[in-house]
Structure 1
Amino acid sequence: MKIEQIHHVAYRCKDAKETVEFYTKVLNMDFILAIAEDRVPSTKEPDPYMHLFMDAGNGNILAFFELPNSPEMGKDPNTPEWVQHIALRVKDENALMEAKKEIEAHGVEVLGPTNHEIIKSIYFFDPNGHRLELTCITATDDMMKKLDAVKWDMLEEWSRTKQAPKHADWLHSSEFEEVEV
């Protein structure tokens, strides 16, 4: 089996119309499809829903469900709010900074930019409380090759120790050029 791409990723929303308005106005995504049913097709359960599909570019689709008969949305109290997020890529650093201005102009609070060395990112929340990240790639090919060379060793060490491996500490030092893999 070989997966071709993600067709869509779906999240719950509090209000379908408010969600579409946010993603079309604030993030300039196209609203491409809505499906509404009184029964869940896979389980046949009676549970009316509105299913929305937003164009996230390059064949990527971000989808939402409004479930009016279900209890109010909640969050996993054991998972920090920064962990679960939707990351969307923009062209470059200039596009990232322009996006930050545009998002803030809509009254949305934005954190960042944060320099992760291989990407730069800004963070904010949609009206449903989902954390969003806009990011641009800043890594060089050499950086990515060095990270690729240590990924399995890092995973193995993490699996054994549950401590952060130091294989890529060079990312946060000014000595990147001197690191050999």
Structure 2
Amino acid sequence: MINIKQIHHVAYRCNDAKETVEFYKHYLNMDFLVAIAEDKVPSTKEPDPYMHLFLDAGNGNILAFFELPNSPGMSRDLNTPEWVQHIAFEVEGRDALLAAKEELESKGLDVLGVTNHGIIHSIYFFDPNGHRLELTYRSGTPEQMKQLAEVAPLMLEEWDQTKKAPKHAAWLHDEEFS
């Protein structure tokens, strides 16, 4: 039986390895852990030079990037809205989120939010590769999380049948709740 311990790393493509490391160090205070570069892909043996970067995303989580200089320029999936694919990082609480927003804006980044999602509060911005980033803190109560866990299977089944948003957790974004 498979027993996942945690995500070891999540890898994305970047336009420029050095620029990407500098962004994550400067804006998110991530440590640059490891660089691996090869002329061939180890798993497939394809000749395709790359630089593979690993950054410390806290608590043993690693964010990785590949720069692929011989591949066509990168772009995002144009059939997927830019708000869908994103990387979310958790901060300690509301004060930490507000301080992060202020710091990012003072360094020249456009930041969207704070957005109240009922059980989390988030801000959003983009890295130099066009990847959407989210900083968030948890604000949900144990009771709210229990309620959401209970309705999750019902919501999934209803979605599967109708492809319309089930209303079991609509309270998360109700104006009264926000």
The TM-score bracket by the shorter chain reads: over 0.9
Structure 1 residues without counterparts, runs of 5 or longer? 177-181
Q: Distance in 2 between matches of 1:150 and 1:42?
A: 41
Partner letter of residue 78 of structure 1?
Answer: N
C-alpha separation in 2, matches of 1:160 and 1:78: 23
Q: Counterpart in 2 of 1:125?
A: 126
Q: Which amino acid letter does the alignment assign opposite residue 111 of structure 1? A: L
Tell me the equivalent position of 2:92. Answer: 91
Task: Give me the whole-angstrom Cα distance separating, in 2, the residues matched to 1:101 and 1:28.
Answer: 15
Distance change (3 Å), C-alpha of 1:156 and 1:147: same
**Match in the other structure for 2:164:** 163
Matches of 1:84 and 1:172 in 2, distance apart?
20
In structure 2, what residue type is equivalent to 1:7? H
> Once the two structures are superposed, what CA deviation does each residue of 1:107-143 show, in whole Å capped at 9, x if it has no partner?
1110000000100000000000000000000101111
Change (3 A) 1:174 1:132: closer
1:51-82 CA-partner distances (Å, limit 9, x unpaired): 00000000100000000111000111100000
Match of 1:61 in 2: 62
Partners of 1:82 and 1:174 in 2: CA distance? 21
- Residues 79-121 of structure 1, C-alpha deviation per residue, up to 9 Å, x if partnerless? 0000000000000010001001111122111000000010000
1:38 counterpart = 2:39: yes
- TM-score computed with the length of structure 1 as normaliser: 0.94
Whole-angstrom distance in 1 between the partners of 2:116 and 2:175: 14
The one-letter amino acid of 2:135's match is: L
User: Contact 2:118–2:171 at 8 Å: present in 1 too?
Assistant: no
State the alpha-carbon separation in 1 of the partners of residues 174 and 15 from structure 2. Answer: 43
Other structure's SS at 1:26 match: helix
The one-letter code of the counterpart of 1:51 is: H
SS in 1 for 2:43: coil
- Residue 148 of structure 2 corresponds to residue 147 of structure 1: yes
- The CA distance in 2 between the partners of 1:137 and 1:13, in whole Å, is 29
- Match of 2:49? 48
SS in 1 for 2:80: coil
What residue is the counterpart of 2:29 in the other structure? 28
Task: Find the residue that maps to 2:28 and give its secondary structure.
Answer: coil
Mapped to 1, the partners of 2:166 and 2:174 lie a distance apart of: 15
Contact 2:37 2:49 in 1 (8 A): yes
Q: Normalising by structure 2, report the TM-score.
A: 0.96
Q: Number of paired residues?
A: 176
Q: Distance in 1 between matches of 2:119 and 2:113?
A: 15
Q: 2:37 touches 2:52 (CA, 8 Å); kept in 1?
A: yes
Question: Which residue identity lines up with residue 123 of structure 1 in the other structure?
Answer: Y
- Percent identity over the alignment is 71
Structure 1 CA distance, aligned partners of 2:65 and 2:173?
Answer: 37
Q: State the 1:173 CA deviation.
A: 4.2
1:172 and 1:111, CA in 2 relative to 1: closer, same or farther beyond 3 A? closer
Aligned-residue RMSD, C-alpha = 1.2
Aligned residue type for 1:148: A
Partners of 1:173 and 1:54 lie apart in 2 by 37
